[in-house]
Amino acid sequence: MAQGPKRVLRGVAALGSEVPSLLSAMVDGQEYVSIVDKNPPSGTNLVGEVLASLLEIEKIRGRPCIAYVGNVVRPGEGSAVEAADDLPFLELVQSIPSEERKVDVFLATNGGSGQQVVRFVSALRARFDEVDFIVPSVAMSAGTLFALSGDHIWMSPQAALGPVDPQVPTKDRRFVPAQALLLLVAQLQNEGQQALSRGQNVPWSAVRMIDSLDKKELGDALTASQYASNMASQFLNDYKFRAWTIRESSGQPVTEEYRKQRSAEVGQALVAHDRWKSHGHAISRDVLWNEIKLKIDHPDHDFERVIRRAWAICYWIFDKTPVQKMLVGRGFSYVKHTVITEV
């Protein structure tokens, strides 16, 4: 693990032809394919390439852009949202000039700690009047919760959010979706009630299953699910929906009561395991809007182009190097990986 823009990312596999810069060698429409067999010069600071791609986004958006990207290509230890990111993220936020009141967050992650996301949101909202999220690929689970705290969520056509269904550890050290445990209990209870209503004994298999469930696990599952739903609803009400004044379907004004109602409905929908079936289910921007009625902003052609370019650089680094996470901004960089060598 190392931090600082003067570090050099090593551990790059020998590739094809050498190019002065991956970003300069990139071809529109074939962003990754055009660089997959290219090799930057030995000693190249690849974080600099990420920063250059973020500056392209800044040029179009007219505001600072910071990246919080975990390795969703070959995820390993350190790729998830975790408590160890707390101080680096705070320093990343503090590195932005004080006169800037708006910021974009370039976000990619498979998930992690929802509690840590709450700390990220607190750091951003204490500093900025408007926070937008740019999702180039996936922002799953805790990453979805993070995105819900944005004033706007910009998603590429291929990008996805995921269910905000927290996972809890079992006594055999496996992680299972909290809602899956709660649904199992509800199903077993329903089977027992139906049997009793027919004058029959509760099925022995249901009794044995309930007895085998760890009561602490069930308590943790209930608490985690309520926490995720509550925080998703709070973020939507406080940030994503705060400027929502007119209902598009009816033209009626949006009251405070209706805003809270819709925030709760969307939060509950994103936590519902019985709806998505899998913790890793990818929810496209069209499904988010058409089924959940969560507005997702679509980048225009030029904006979409620079998003693709930035993600292709990140993808190359995640695929070809031991990097597991990058926090990058104009005046800050922090990298987690297994091997790093000074120049």
Q: Is residue 69 part of a domain?
A: yes
The structural domain count of the chain equals 2
User: Does residue 299 share a domain with residue 274?
Assistant: no
User: Does residue 182 share a domain with residue 82?
Assistant: no
Which positions ≥6 away from 301 have C-beta within 8 Å?
none
User: Does residue 145 share a domain with residue 194?
Assistant: no
- Report percent pLDDT > 70 for the chain: 77
Average pLDDT on 44-64 reads 96
Q: Is 22 helix (H, G, I), strand (E, B) or coil?
A: helix
Residues 226 and 264 sit within 8 Å (Cβ to Cβ):
no
pLDDT of 171 reads: 56
Residues 129-140: tens digit of each pLDDT: 999 999 999 999
Q: Is 67 helix (H, G, I), strand (E, B) or coil?
A: strand
Task: Give the neighbor-by-neighbor strand order of the sheet with 2-3.
Answer: 2-3, 332-337, 323-329, 65-70, 102-108, 130-135, 152-155
User: Does residue 107 share a domain with residue 9?
Assistant: yes
Residues 50 and 10 sit within 8 Å (Cβ to Cβ):
no
- DSSP assignment of 77-142: TT-SB-GGGHHHHHHHHHTS-TT--EEEEEEEB--B-HHHHHHHHHHHHTT-SEEEEEESSEE-TH
User: Does residue 148 share a domain with residue 67?
Assistant: yes
Q: Which amino acid, 166?
A: P
Is the per-residue pLDDT at 1 higher than 60? no
User: Does residue 171 share a domain with residue 123?
Assistant: no
Q: Is residue 250 part of a domain?
A: yes
Q: Which residue, 256, 279, 302, sits at the end of a domain?
A: 279
Q: Which residue, 263, 279, 295, sits at the end of a domain?
A: 279
The CA distance from 6 to 12, in Å, is: 17
Q: Is 252 helix (H, G, I), strand (E, B) or coil?
A: coil
User: Does residue 115 share a domain with residue 29?
Assistant: yes
User: For residue 221, what is the enclosing H or E element?
Assistant: helix 215-235
Residues 194-209: tens digit of each pLDDT: 766 777 765 555 455 5
Q: Is residue 343 part of a domain?
A: no
Which positions ≥6 away from 166 have C-beta within 8 Å?
114, 141, 177, 178, 224, 225, 227, 228
Residue 202: DSSP 8-state: P
CATH number at residue 96: 3.90.226
The least confident of 41-50, 216-225, 226-235 is 216-225
Q: Is residue 342 part of a domain?
A: no
Residues 239-269: tens digit of each pLDDT: 999 999 998 878 899 999 999 999 999 998 9
The CA distance from 324 to 326, in Å, is: 7
Can you read off the two tokens belonging to residue 207?
């009794």
Q: Is residue 60 part of a domain?
A: yes
- Greater model confidence, 235 or 339: 235
Q: Taking the CB of residue 136, how many other CB atoms lie within 10 A of it? A: 25
Can you read off the two tokens belonging to residue 187?
């199903």
- Going by pLDDT thresholds of 50, 70 and 90, the confidence category of residue 112 is confident
User: Does residue 258 share a domain with residue 232?
Assistant: yes
User: Does residue 106 share a domain with residue 171?
Assistant: no
Q: Which residue, 260, 279, 298, sits at the end of a domain?
A: 279
pLDDT of 193 reads: 74
Q: Which domain does 53 fall in, by range?
A: 2-162+282-337
Task: Compute the mean pLDDT over every residue in the chain, rounded to the nearest whole number.
Answer: 84
User: Does residue 103 share a domain with residue 171?
Assistant: no
Q: Taking the CB of residue 87, how many other CB atoms lie within 10 A of it? A: 10
